Amino acid sequence: MTLGTGVGGALVLGGTLFGGPHGAAGEIGHVPGFGDTVCTCGARGHLETVAGARGIADRYAERTGRRIGTHEVATAARTGDRDAQDVFATAGWGIARAVLLTAGILDVTTVVIGGGVARSWDLLEPAVTAALAAEPPVSGAAIRVEQSVLGADAVALGAAAQVRRVVLGA
């Protein structure tokens, strides 16, 4: 799952990137069920509205009347701003719900979180962990959720690796 301006994802099943019949597999950011806020795509309640950078900044502005960027919201949360902390807790809850949905449908046990917003994993992880503990997957298998070691470069490196595999067969 990539947390950037929006929320994206990719499914690697059996070691192979799975795009689906229409190339939209992994579009976790546009899964509904996360409130009623209008998404950038025009639909309501998508994961992106709570866990993407734009959604985090919008929610903070809605609560405080102050429009600042997501990194500034993270700094505010780390310095005790309760509104900022609540916005990140909501984002973490949304991420956990998306992880649980994915685990319930595909029986995945590992989820890697990357992208620029993932730099605030210290603010997201407590809510993710709490939500997963409160409602474990029906399989009973533990779900490992880890921050990507590649950070914001994960998408570009993954795309390059896919091109390499297609072009060179390696």
- CATH classification of the domain holding 12: 3.30.420.40
Hey, what's the torsion of the CAs at 127, 133, 134, 139, to 10 degrees?
A: 130
Residue-number span of the structural domain to which 150 is assigned: 2-168
Domain count, the chain: 1
Q: Say what the pLDDT of residue 151 is.
A: 66
Strands 11-13 and 7-8: unpaired
CB atoms within 10 A of CB 168: 7
Q: What is the mean pLDDT of residues 105-128?
A: 93
**What confidence tens digit (pLDDT) does each residue in 61-92 have?**
999 999 999 999 999 999 999 999 999 999 99
Q: Say what the pLDDT of residue 90 is.
A: 97
Average per-residue pLDDT for the chain: 91
